[in-house]
Amino acid sequence: MKRILPIVIVALFAAMFCAGTYVDAKEAVTAGGTNVNSSAAAMALVDGDTGELIYSKNCDARREPASTTKICTAITVIENQTILDVPMPIPDEAVGVEGSSLYLQKGEMLTVRDLLYGLMLQSGNDCAVALAIIVGGSVDGFVRMMNETAAKAGAENTHFANPHGLHHEDHYTTARDLCAISYYAMKNELFREIVSTKRHTTPYHNHNYQRNFPNKNKILFNYEGGNGIKTGYTRHSGRCLVSSATRNGKTYICTVLNCGDMFEECMRLMDCAFMRR
């Protein structure tokens, strides 16, 4: 009996830590997952093997996704571009794009594969524009393809207006939809390879050295089994993160939107998911 009691106490504390409190029973059922307390304005956690919604908070509220938009950008490129390793000229429109950047230069040549790594590891907005024009012919044409990809992934409350996630009044998604898009994207081997890469090097035009950039996603470095996916931030969206981890053959995907402690919160929620098995 003395040995059983501490185990029970630990289990109770773990349950309190993970589950939080129900906001409303009806809302929890409607959300399709256990509605939990979270420091995020909106969040969703899904089973990475089945897509089942496990935890949620305001998961259907429309919010700006910032650079987590690039999850859909990347998988749209991968599914529609077969030439990945032939250097291509960087479109003029991709030079000098505001925000996070790989500082692409006019006349520079890069492969689509390298641009994808720049997009997902360094969150290059210039990479997003370059890929959009290379694959879609124009930014507007590519954005239409992105929205088709989102719909195919099961996102029902999402509309993208650009390939990078900079503020736009008609650019929105939900925590549930971002999980759906990420669940869909993670089925692709190349996508998984890119988002789980901690560092990538690529030639630097007119320089005698290479670009060497690390992944900004701390989940890969600080969380056991971490294997993705994408960070994001703008003044309008707040800090956003879609994370993924696999342990003992089991994967969970977690999205937090407008969450100051986004890494810690994703790790806490994924811990809870792994403990429930």
67 is catalytic: yes
Q: What is the mean pLDDT of residues 16-39?
A: 54
pLDDT given at position 205: 75
**What is the percent of the chain with per-residue pLDDT over 70, rounded to a whole number?**
88
pLDDT of 8 over the 70 cut: no
Per-chain mean pLDDT for the chain: 90
pLDDT of 9 over the 50 cut: no
Dihedral-angle region of residue 95 (phi above 0 means left; psi in -120 to 50 means alpha; beta otherwise): beta
Apex 172 CA angle, 79 and 231, nearest 5: 70
pLDDT given at position 26: 29
**Which residue out of 38, 56, 57, 67 is catalytically annotated?**
67
- Give the tens place of pLDDT for each residue, 63-74: 999 999 999 999
pLDDT given at position 204: 84
- Give the tens place of pLDDT for each residue, 129-183: 999 999 999 999 999 999 999 999 999 999 999 999 999 999 999 999 999 999 9
70 is catalytic: yes
Q: What is the mean pLDDT of residues 233-251?
A: 97
Integer CA distances (angstroms), 16 to 10, 24, 35, 228, 271, in order: 10, 17, 13, 27, 13
CA distance 175 to 63: 8
- Give the tens place of pLDDT for each residue, 80-107: 999 999 999 999 999 999 999 999 998 8
pLDDT given at position 277: 62
CA distance 63 to 179: 14
Q: What is the DSSP letter of 52?
A: -
pLDDT given at position 29: 28
Among candidates 4, 2, 3, 19, which has minimal Cα distance to 276?
19
**Which residue out of 38, 56, 57, 70 is catalytically annotated?**
70
Whole-angstrom Cα Rg for the chain: 19
Ranges of H-type helices in 23-83: 25-31, 70-80
Work out the pLDDT band at 211, boundaries 50, 70, 90. Answer: confident
pLDDT given at position 276: 83
Work out the pLDDT band at 32, boundaries 50, 70, 90. Answer: low
pLDDT given at position 23: 32
2 is catalytic: no
CA distance 267 to 273: 10
pLDDT given at position 22: 32
* pTM metric for this prediction: 0.90
pLDDT of 14 over the 50 cut: no
Work out the pLDDT band at 231, boundaries 50, 70, 90. Answer: very high
**Which residue out of 38, 56, 101, 123 is catalytically annotated?**
123
Work out the pLDDT band at 7, boundaries 50, 70, 90. Answer: very low
pLDDT given at position 66: 98
Q: Which of 8-12, 224-228, 262-266 has the weakest average pLDDT? A: 8-12
